[in-house]
Amino acid sequence: MISISESESIAEEKPSAKTACFIFPEASGHINSSLALSARLAKKGWKIHYLSAMVMKDVIEQTGATFDDERTVAPELCQGGLGYFAAYERLREEKCPGSKAWEGRAHLENHFLPMKLPGTIDWLRQKQPDVVLYCPICNRIVQIASRVLDIPHVAIVTIAGFGGFHKILSSELNQYNLDRSLFGEGSPLYYFGRDPDCAPYGMTLGKHTLVTTIPSLRDPIFDSIDKEDRLYMDKCGSRMHYIGPMLGEPGLSRASTHKAAFTEEEQRLLMEQSECVHRRRSQLHPNKQEDLVGIVKDAKNLGRRVVLVSLGTVVTSDRLAFGWKGTGLGGMPQVDILRLMDCSDLFVHHGGQNSVMEGGYAGIPMVVCPTFSDQPVNAAKLVKLKVALSVDRPTKSGRRAVKDYTAKVAKAVSAIFETQESFAAAALDLKREIALGGGEDTAEVTILEAIRCGVW
């Protein structure tokens, strides 16, 4: 992490205006942290350009950035108007019929490169940025394009460190009974490097990498964080900065979906919901995000406890069929609600990386209901820190399973309220540690340092 003295020195050198390009996928968990940074830089006079999926256009433009559709730089890949994710699924069915997601991805990485790289280079050449910010997991070729054009580039890692990828990948490969060697030989060198157990994604990074977690919540490759940081510096020339969450100012809109298109089932649900308003709407009534925030504010002013339940972008999606907008409530302003809550309240969530950091930032005890990917690992970390209790995903379906699961969640909620003092103390400790990461403050200083140092 950059020291305070370094930060002050760099801040003095900051010019009045620069240009930054952001390249992020249509996955909300990957793009949301960048939105806060975009809004901050735009407010300071920077010119911000985004290359992303059309579904992200509104939240991107609300930060003060200009938006370009990712499909325009990869027309061959995106035939028929599909975004990158949907195009990948089509290509997987064509080239690797019957393959599972990770298996297909391993075989298709080399197909993506010539389809996406030339257009990405042309787009960056047109924008002429001082720096490029990008997701090194979903937009890996950005590092290649930036180096070709000699542009400083800073990756934003939105999982809890690259050690988390080992856990995610192992879980997925075990689930589908796949061989890890697929990712050693089936993928280009820029993905893992020559040794997939050495420095995951190391070949996708620039001199500086922002990680939106803190040391105590990172998923380690090694027990020693210093050893891990030396690995990325020695093998990849990248300096890791654990900055915690980037949340922006109150009222900042966030992405809440990553779906590329409506399925037939979604279309059917949309038709049903257009004819009948969801029955739960009568319990709340608001049709603006500000109204939800107002409800929580009023509750806190009355001295009431608040329990916020938020189970990720499938539930809070801006897709009508599966989200709050389908009930007339709009996207839920989760961060703004959490800012009003305190250690006497409770946050029930799915264990996604953003929710973990947002709840920790607010200093709120949690109940975690993980399902897949990094969520079980995130839940286990919070339990170890004594900030949360975790309820495992049901292994069966049916009404009895739903009843049993509901009872377990209720029991966890009651357990925290019965011993609120100990959970509250741990939550406040985590809040203080997260604040030390610096969020957007550290990110801005790091970006200026990257520009000052150049690419090589």
What does the pLDDT look like over 328-363, one tens digit per residue?
Answer: 444 678 899 999 999 999 999 999 999 999 999 999
**What is the Cα–Cα distance from 354 to 247, expressed in whole angstroms?**
10
Instruction: Report pLDDT digits (tens) over 108-124.
Output: 777 778 889 999 999 99
Structure confidence at residue 8 as a pLDDT band (50, 70, 90) = very low
pLDDT of residue 292: 84
* The dihedral sign for the CA sequence 29, 34, 37, 39: negative
Pairing state between β 153-157 and 19-23: unpaired
What are the φ/ψ torsions at residue 336 (nearest 5 degrees)? -65, -35
The domains located in the chain, with CATH, are 4-244+438-453 (3.40.50.2000), 280-434 (3.40.50.2000)
* Most confidently predicted of 164-178, 326-340, 421-435: 421-435
CA distances to 10, 128, 240, 327 from 453, in Å? 11, 17, 15, 50
| Mean pLDDT value across residues 163-184 | 61
CA angle 138, 143, 148 (to 5 degrees): 140
| Residues 366-382 pLDDT 10s | 999 998 778 888 999 99
CA distance 155 to 135: 6
391 touches 368 (CB < 8 A): yes
Per-residue pLDDT averaged across 165-169, rounded? 64
CB-CB contact of 373 with 170 (8 Å): no
Report, as an integer, the average pLDDT of 388-413.
Answer: 92
pLDDT at 268: 57
SS3 content of the chain, % helix, strand, coil (to 5): 55, 10, 35
Q: Taking a C-beta distance cutoff of 8 angstroms, is the pair 23, 132 a contact?
A: yes
Say which amino acid occupies 160.
Answer: A
| 258-280 pLDDT tens trace | 444 444 554 555 455 444 433 33
